[in-house]
Amino acid sequence: DTGVSQDPRHKITKRGQNVTFRCDPISEHNRLYWYRQTLGQGPEFLTYFQNEAQLEKSRLLSDRFSAERPKGSFSTLEIQRTEQGDSAMYLCASPPGRADTGELFFGEGSRLTVL
Amino acid sequence: RKEVEQDPGPFNVPEGATVAFNCTYSNSASQSFFWYRQDCRKEPKLLMSVYSSGNEDGRFTAQLNRASQYISLLIRDSKLSDSATYLCVGLVSGGYNKLIFGAGTRLAVHP
């Protein structure tokens, strides 16, 4: 257990529906990342939070995607009007300690299937 | 061109074999490198950092050649439990650290 928890673990939805994923990172850590992974690919960076501030957002995140971290603790990733191409594993990660060594602990991910 | 490129494999090797994975990176701003391991349908986990001088952790040896922008991972005496996908990762620092992952190399060790 890395200490990073994600919910739900699996989500099946129909095209056009909205979905929201939640991430609870390692407690008291101010840095949180979202990545997306599709079959046969490595994780791709989506966005980064330092406390409640979203400091970077990848061009992969279209305007249908929004991420928040309102109190600098848990984070949510919402996808509006889902498309089949959104089917992927959405991974949340945070560093294991306060020192920035570059290591990230990932949650088990939220797997999205858009029908 | 992807920032971190790897041979996707799969590499099918017998137990006890030595296997080597290679990785190239194109972003010269990448300051540090890592190998992560990902088991099927699981999250990636750090395997080891990669240092310019080369470093070893048990049966695993990692090498970095900054001039050639090349990273390698050598696994000796392969075990069945080594079967996984190995992700080459570069770290870019610009106020905060961001990991850039390769697509991964799949390893299957058979009896």
**Closest residue to B43, CB basis, from A33, A101, A109:** A109
B37 against B3, higher pLDDT: B37
Query: What is the separation, in whole angstroms, between the first and last Cα of chain A?
Result: 31
Task: Give the chain B residue whose CA is nearest to the CA of A33.
Answer: B98
pLDDT digit string (tens) for A51-97? Answer: 999 999 998 888 999 999 998 889 999 999 999 999 999 999 998 77
Q: Please tell me the total number of residues recorded for chain B in this structure.
A: 111
pLDDT digit string (tens) for B31-52? Answer: 789 999 999 989 999 999 998 8
- Concatenating the DSSP letter of every residue in B4-38 gives EEE----EEEETT--EEEEEEE--TTEEEEEEEEE
Q: In what order do the strands lie in the sheet with B19-25?
A: B4-6, B19-25, B70-75, B60-65, B55-57
Predicted pLDDT of residue B54: 87
Please report where in the chains the tokens 């390769």 appear, as a residue.
B102
CA proximity to A43, closest of B83, B55, B37: B37
Predicted pLDDT of residue B78: 98
Residue A55: its chain B contacts at CB < 8 A?
A: 95-96
Task: Tell whether the model's pLDDT for residue B81 goes beyond 80.
Answer: yes
Predicted pLDDT of residue A60: 83
Report the share of chain A in percent with pLDDT over 90. Answer: 72
CB contact under 8 A, B98 and A31: no
Residues B26, B10: Cα–Cα separation, whole Å: 23
Mean pLDDT of chain B: 92
Predicted pLDDT of residue B36: 97
Task: Tell whether the model's pLDDT for residue A100 goes beyond 70.
Answer: no
Task: Tell whether the model's pLDDT for residue A19 goes beyond 80.
Answer: yes
Task: Tell whether the model's pLDDT for residue A35 goes beyond 70.
Answer: yes
Distance from CA of B17 to the nearest CA of A (A): 25
Predicted pLDDT of residue A98: 66
